[in-house]
Structure 1
Amino acid sequence: MHTALKNRILLYCFSLVLIILMTGCESKMVFDQSDEHVVKLQNDYFEIAFSKARGEIISIKEQGQEEAVSAGNREGALWKAFLSDGRTISSSDYEHHFNYHWEDKGKRLVLEYEGELAVKVTIEPTEEKAIYMQASVDNRTDRVLQRFSLPHELSIAAESIEDGLVPLMPGALLSRGYFDARQTFSALYPGVMSADYVGVRAAVGRLSVYGIKGDVLQPVQIGFRLSPTDPTQASFIREFRTEAKTTWTSPKVAIRIGEDYPEAITGYRIDNGFDKFDSLQEKLGSKYQAYMESAMYKLDLERVGLTFEELMPQVIDRIDIPGMVHPVAFQQRGHDQNYPDFVPTDERWGTNESFKAFTAYAQQRGNLVAPYTNFSWWDVDSRYVNDLTADELRAMMVSGDDGQPVIEQYGPHRGYVVNPHHEQVKRIIAEQHDVLMKEIGLDGIFEDQWGARTAPLDWNPNRPENLDASTAYFEGVLEHARTHKEHHLMTEVGIDILAEHEVGFMGTNYLWDMSGFRKETAPYTQYYPLMGILARDKVLMYQHDLAAETWTDDKEMFRWNLAQGYLLSGEITGPSSFEINPWLNLIGTFQKYALSRYADELVSSFEPAGDGLTKTDFDTFEVMANWNEKAAAQWGSNVISPGGAAILAKDGSVTGGVFDSYNGKSLDAKEHYILEVRSEDSIKVFQPVGWATNLTISLPSAWKDAHISAYTYADSYIGEVEGKVEGSTITFKYKSLHNQSSVGYYQITKKG
């Protein structure tokens, strides 16, 4: 027999034996190389075919589906490298310099490419719905490896796509219209993208791709591309940003097949160890309950115009429901000026001692105090910056490729982006933190931009040896968060990995949509609680801490926040704010009595519920949001107002929302924001926003009669209220005034 023919027969026989051995043991994973052209990895859930000639993915198919969810890598390339001279090298160039083998001990497929870029890709299949891949690169060129795409552009038939999910905070679900319009959008993680995850739902299956952080966080450009050459195909973008002159190893990349978004996001959470992060209760300790119950009240000293001493009687004493007071612009020269020099305070408002007295006064009345700061961006005219020499400035700031410090401008204000690794930068920030936390006695610190800035390339050589220009900046941000984790840090927008040490994310992509910054995605976006599924048990989420567009002061933002699992926020603009703006009491009421009970529960699902409704499910609560602005929605015995939302504790202890009808009875005139909180011996009913109305409340079956009392928000008794008991209900007139006093709530108790 001819030797070559004999070898092919032996190889074929070996393949069949391997299939039999693997299916005969506990593992359900099958490695099948019996086909002349492809190698297949398959289990009970999926089948993935790789080319024997070049190693690219040929197809990914869910078991039970006739069609593949992905037609494999675009351009016939499993990976693609981008060099500093503009050249690209891809696996498709290695047809005669490629080999593969199966490592039975490690249960992995190894693909090897020999050339001026020597690349080894390991494929680790699992018995579940995932495979993992990782590339190691030996750069033998005289150029720098600047980007590396892995897996390179997995393609999906555009006409089969139902929607796609990208991590624009908290998660942007791109409708079919995005793909029909042939849009392309990608952005960097960490930065515009808050997580390293992209997924798609298609008629023929589900597919998600995400990264797994190694010792160093490798920035990656992610998103969707619509092929300019083939209008029938969309593809995943995944390009790691690198700066490798010799060798480089990619993070592991997971491909999950056949899982809907919640399951795939949970896989991302577990693979990256987010589930092992300290809980909010562990991070916050004795302040845990106060944080859970606190709506955020922005307090801009330049707008309010009062000193710390004046704020105590004129503002703090008028807060009906304690919350998180968020002082802004207390530093010398005002907002977006003088950074990083936040203390000592501007003499217009008082001294550090008066700031300390104000903080203690607010805390004694049940509030938290957490100020605005920004230690990532230093004002070009600040005291610290003006004292630096040119050499010190270059050493302490992020450097561009020209070696000069990077400047960012916001309105008329210009500042340097700091190098968080520099010892003098760290010392100055630590000094400021010590004054704020130890001397002033604050409860936490909000730090702007760390969680929102797209991680810049930093050519500053002042960095640890294991980092390069591509990785240095954000690794410095992570070190900063670790160093100051005891200070209950919060940041703008939020990058998922910061949830390990921080306690609050403030901001969403929704603001950028409203501001016109996301024109590629905004027309096609329905928001999806990706971050709520991923890390809501590790970090509190609020709308932006500064922008007036994001206050919970209308029905739309109330609905959005409830549906996405966000906490509530507003602004104190002056001494009369709580008298003229009932929404401040609304956010305080709902936060303290309702949202606090599930503020750190993960979102378990977010699904359409018919007729323009969505249902957000938590462990102990559910939220029903009515996105139809013209039609009310029946919800049990209640009717949710057009464009409204409602929450329900699954044990029946809390019901709240904006209603046209409640307990089967129509409400008087317009919309009513009602919150009902039940305990064993009482029922509290709040209506912080809404006209007077007759309101019917169900009584416990053991109660034959009941009486009603009015109370202030501070639990001071106002007086008795007449009610009519009929069967198992009681009806009374809910008014905002009783006995000439403002009503916080009515309390129903058993009579006799």
Structure 2
Amino acid sequence: MAAQGGIVFSDAAADTMVLSNDHYAVTLSKVNGGLLSLVDRSAGQNLTSGSRDGCLWGAVFPGSVPDYVGGCSYSRSGGNRFSYTWDDSSATLTLIYTWQAGLAQWIDAVAQLTASTGPYFDLSLTIDNHWATTMQNVIWLSAPVFSDSQVQSAYGPFLMPGVRLRPGFFTGDRTYVPTYPSDAAFADYWALDVAGGHFAMYTINPVPNPVRPVALGFIDDDGHTTDTFYGYHSYHTWVPVGESWSAPQIRVRVGQPVEETILAYREENGIGSYPSLSTKLGTGFQTLARAPLIKADIHIINEPFLDWIPSLERLPSPSLLHPVAYQPGGHDESYPDFLPPEPIWGATTDFRAMVLAAQARGLWVMPYTNPTWWDEESPTIQGMAPLTIEDVALLDEGLQPVYETYGGHGGYVVSPQAPFVQQRLAQLMQQWQTEVPVNCVFEDQIGARGWRRDFNASASDAMAYSDGWLSHVAAYADRCLMTEMGWDRLAEDEIGFHGSLLTWQREFNYATDYWGTGNWEPFPLSVWLYHDKVFTYQHDLSHLTMSTDKEVLLWNMVFGMQLSYNWAWPATDPLGSPWLVVVRALQHVVVSRVAGQPMDSFAHLTGAVTRSDYGAVEVTGNWHATAPYAVGGYQLAPQGFLARVADDTALAGVFAGLFNAHALSSGEHYIIVQRAPNAVTIYHPIGSDTALTVDAPAAWPDGTPLLVRAVRWDGHLLGATASTVQGGAFNVRCTQQSGGESVDHYWVGPALSVYLPLALKSAR
């Protein structure tokens, strides 16, 4: 039977039925509705051997016997009856699962598959629970099986920016199934390049629908069928006996590459309609886009707040100053009581004075907080009688408060819908406006905590834990909130997400342990999803992913992340480090132009070289650990990058051997060039002394005499030399020292320029 637009349904065969269009052909069993095959017509290949054990869906009932009921529990002729109907007008195949009448426990279900004229079909499912106990999971679409040897790539939203799993993950018989939402899964989506074709599956569940938590990923199945795995997608539920449950809409896309399907997820889930960063921040957007994060752990700086003030002039302006561990007891103590601070660092008025001094210097201030986990010894917990911990904590299924420890520090996970929790957090947020007026507030763990059930009496629903934190974030959306990690729904109101796959790999060897050496690479799924909605940073606390090595810079530049720096260990002179110059110059000159821009494209130029395009900025990244890469007259160092602005106003990178088709001195060179019509600013904070040949602005004809000035960090002139425009370029001898002092940058302009004072003033 043919429906509109080339959609064809055929059930002429004895045991199978086929739903097809120009893009795909889905074959289902007439015995129980199980998926048998899915052909990608653009590739001419079947992608899957079908549902594991013939079960199109599955419901899980822990503690009951049996504890599983699925589509394979029914048949055409058994007591538990399967039947189907086809509606030509809506192109919908309805699969009906009816339990045998007269039994004490039973499950009825209705699944629907709706075809489209495009490269996708939609799935829906409703289950009536009359089993012996609560239904706690629904596996839907259940377990499509794939061949290990036929997978070219798998794509998962597993730790920002996402991951591409290589074939070795599957041939190595590995399994990975995180829960969305959490740090480990920022979207309900996964995709495969398999058998020369493409498969993607995701949930469509936009705001204002409640969050639908789900376990998703890939499970090795060699114990069942050799050299296979299956895709896993299991909604977490809490459906008591006698109630019905309906799945959100699932969309399966066939024959489309990953970029198209992740962008479809973005649009169909309403993420594209979230306010942009420029809309959220207004005139503050350009300031924050130019501001690297400066972590300021007061226990490491080891100075009271008032003693910070003279050092503030050494920080980039603008920058985002991030005070950490200032509360009584230090980090992971006293939550939610962050003010007043630990007395040895000063009073609240001293904290305020430091913040006002920083803001006067053009800095934004973002203190660390954690609203999700409260210290059992905090004044708030100790003084909340007549309330008890059961009134404020997240309660598990046994109605016990959930208690966690971090490095020996203990506390309770709180329920975001508990009135006392909301009241206390409102007081804290008010303190950040009146007592210590800050620009932004960092709220740890909101974006990193995995969803879990919450049986606190104040929770609107046992499933609503993540929704509770979404409501909190929405209530304070005008406070410039940032959080650890992050996931799609949070991007509507948050300003920044902090953390990445690189953080977890360096801190915990996470990717290697779970996926295997050589079996993975970072992939920009989150960048496509919400790069224009939130700033992304490496982790705000981890010193292992501050922007002080070239691999971190490579990640940040390729994936459009803001830069970070650790104001730490005064004995090492952190405010005089050349890395701070790298961070300041690169953030101001190039990264600020990437911030808030959608990623237009991402491609592999070779197996180890990528290109990312963000509006006017193109970033080439060399991921090879030992080999350089030559492109357009530049040679990128191993793990180096080249970022260029289309109008040639800025260029930056980590180079070895060649810059602008001219030789460099030995070693690696960190170079940032900014061009204006009347001046060129050159930063060379790391690398041996070298000659540079730099393209001149178009307004400088050949023969133009130039003055080259070496400038200290504070704008003080260290020395000057001459140069001349020849062949549209000029030469500069870049040295790390001039007159015995460190050179911050070189200012180059026509020898008779009257703009020098302005240029020197703006060079910071």
TM-score normalized by the length of structure 1: 0.93
8 Å CA contact retained: 2:95, 2:111: yes
Secondary structure at the aligned position of 1:186 is classed as coil
For the pair 1:526 / 2:510, whether they are aligned, the reply is: no
Match of 2:531 among 530, 536, 539: 536
Aligned equivalents of 2:34 and 2:269: distance in 1?
A: 26
For the pair 1:612 / 2:608, whether they are aligned, the reply is: yes
Residues 490 and 579 of structure 1, relative CA distance in 2, 3 Å threshold? closer
Residues 158 and 348 of structure 1, relative CA distance in 2, 3 Å threshold? same
For the pair 1:485 / 2:485, whether they are aligned, the reply is: no
8 Å CA contact retained: 1:397, 1:406: yes
Q: How does 1:401-480 map to 2 (within 5 A)?
A: 401-464=397-460, 467=461, 469=462, 471-480=463-472
Aligned equivalents of 1:596 and 1:725: distance in 2?
A: 29
For the pair 1:235 / 2:226, whether they are aligned, the reply is: no
8 Å CA contact retained: 2:46, 2:195: no
Amino acid of the structure 2 residue aligned with 1:516: N
Cα deviation, residue 716, structure 1: 5.3
Cα deviation, residue 43, structure 1: 2.2
8 Å CA contact retained: 1:655, 1:676: yes
Q: How does 1:570-585 map to 2 (within 5 A)?
A: 570-574=565-569, 577-585=573-581
Amino acid of the structure 2 residue aligned with 1:552: S
Deviation string 1:618-668 (CA, Å, 9 cap, x unpaired) is: 222221111222221101111111221111123332211101210111111
8 Å CA contact retained: 1:706, 1:748: no
Residues 255 and 715 of structure 1, relative CA distance in 2, 3 Å threshold? farther
Cα deviation, residue 712, structure 1: 4.1
Aligned equivalents of 1:448 and 1:133: distance in 2?
A: 36
Q: How does 1:559-578 map to 2 (within 5 A)?
A: 559-574=554-569, 577-578=573-574
Matched positions, count: 725
Q: Which residue of structure 1 lines up, in the alignment, with residue 488 of structure 2?
A: 496
Aligned equivalents of 2:693 and 2:560: distance in 1?
A: 28
Structure 2 runs not aligned, ≥5 long: 100-105, 753-764
Aligned equivalents of 1:41 and 1:651: distance in 2?
A: 51
Question: Please, which moves more after superposition, 55-64 or 502-511?
Answer: 55-64
8 Å CA contact retained: 1:437, 1:444: no
Q: Which residue of structure 2 lines up, in the alignment, with residue 175 of structure 1?
A: 166
For the pair 1:289 / 2:286, whether they are aligned, the reply is: yes
Aligned equivalents of 1:298 and 1:429: distance in 2?
A: 23
Cα deviation, residue 58, structure 1: 1.6
Amino acid of the structure 2 residue aligned with 1:541: T
Structure 1 runs not aligned, ≥5 long: 1-14
Q: Which residue of structure 2 lines up, in the alignment, with residue 675 of structure 1?
A: 672
Question: Please, which moves more after superposition, 191-200 or 578-587?
Answer: 578-587
Match of 1:224 among 197, 210, 218: 218
Secondary structure at the aligned position of 2:720 is classed as strand
Residues 714 and 281 of structure 1, relative CA distance in 2, 3 Å threshold? farther
Cα deviation, residue 508, structure 1: 1.3
Aligned equivalents of 2:405 and 2:96: distance in 1?
A: 47
Q: How does 1:595-634 map to 2 (within 5 A)?
A: 595-610=591-606, 612-634=608-630
Deviation string 1:197-219 (CA, Å, 9 cap, x unpaired) is: 11111232111111122621111
Amino acid of the structure 1 residue aligned with 2:418: H
Q: How does 1:535-554 map to 2 (within 5 A)?
A: 535-554=530-549
8 Å CA contact retained: 2:211, 2:464: no
8 Å CA contact retained: 1:709, 1:719: yes
Secondary structure at the aligned position of 2:340 is classed as coil
Question: Please, which moves more after superposition, 426-435 or 53-62?
Answer: 53-62
Aligned equivalents of 2:384 and 2:400: distance in 1?
A: 14
Aligned equivalents of 1:404 and 1:509: distance in 2?
A: 33
Aligned equivalents of 1:456 and 1:439: distance in 2?
A: 35
Match of 2:509 among 516, 519, 532: 516
Amino acid of the structure 1 residue aligned with 2:341: T
Aligned equivalents of 1:701 and 1:481: distance in 2?
A: 48
Amino acid of the structure 1 residue aligned with 2:278: Q
Deviation string 1:136-191 (CA, Å, 9 cap, x unpaired) is: 11112231111100000112221010121121221021111101101111011111
Q: Which residue of structure 1 lines up, in the alignment, with residue 761 of structure 2?
A: none
Aligned equivalents of 1:98 and 1:743: distance in 2?
A: 78
Q: Which residue of structure 2 lines up, in the alignment, with residue 194 of structure 1?
A: 186
Secondary structure at the aligned position of 1:646 is classed as strand
Cα deviation, residue 719, structure 1: 4.7
Cα deviation, residue 516, structure 1: 2.9
Aligned equivalents of 1:686 and 1:522: distance in 2?
A: 39
Indicate the percent of aligned positions where both proteins have the same amino acid.
29
Secondary structure at the aligned position of 1:667 is classed as strand
| Aligned-residue RMSD, C-alpha | 1.9
8 Å CA contact retained: 2:328, 2:341: yes
Amino acid of the structure 2 residue aligned with 1:29: I
Residues 678 and 47 of structure 1, relative CA distance in 2, 3 Å threshold? farther
Q: How does 1:249-260 map to 2 (within 5 A)?
A: 249-260=246-257
Aligned equivalents of 1:645 and 1:625: distance in 2?
A: 4
Question: Please, which moves more after superposition, 733-742 or 447-456?
Answer: 733-742
Residues 310 and 43 of structure 1, relative CA distance in 2, 3 Å threshold? same
8 Å CA contact retained: 1:724, 1:732: no
Aligned equivalents of 2:98 and 2:26: distance in 1?
A: 24
8 Å CA contact retained: 2:288, 2:318: no
Match of 1:139 among 117, 129, 140: 129
Cα deviation, residue 718, structure 1: 4.8
8 Å CA contact retained: 2:210, 2:464: no
For the pair 1:505 / 2:497, whether they are aligned, the reply is: yes
Cα deviation, residue 714, structure 1: 5.1
Question: Please, which moves more after superposition, 103-112 or 711-720?
Answer: 711-720
Aligned equivalents of 1:723 and 1:177: distance in 2?
A: 55
Deviation string 1:312-356 (CA, Å, 9 cap, x unpaired) is: 00x212214431110001111111000000011121111222211
Residues 701 and 343 of structure 1, relative CA distance in 2, 3 Å threshold? closer
Q: Which residue of structure 2 lines up, in the alignment, with residue 11 of structure 1?
A: none
Aligned equivalents of 1:46 and 1:652: distance in 2?
A: 46
Cα deviation, residue 742, structure 1: 3.9
Amino acid of the structure 1 residue aligned with 2:57: W
8 Å CA contact retained: 1:673, 1:687: yes
Aligned equivalents of 1:387 and 1:456: distance in 2?
A: 27
For the pair 1:129 / 2:129, whether they are aligned, the reply is: no
Cα deviation, residue 611, structure 1: 5.7
Aligned equivalents of 2:343 and 2:567: distance in 1?
A: 21
Cα deviation, residue 67, structure 1: 2.3
Question: Please, which moves more after superposition, 634-643 or 608-617?
Answer: 608-617
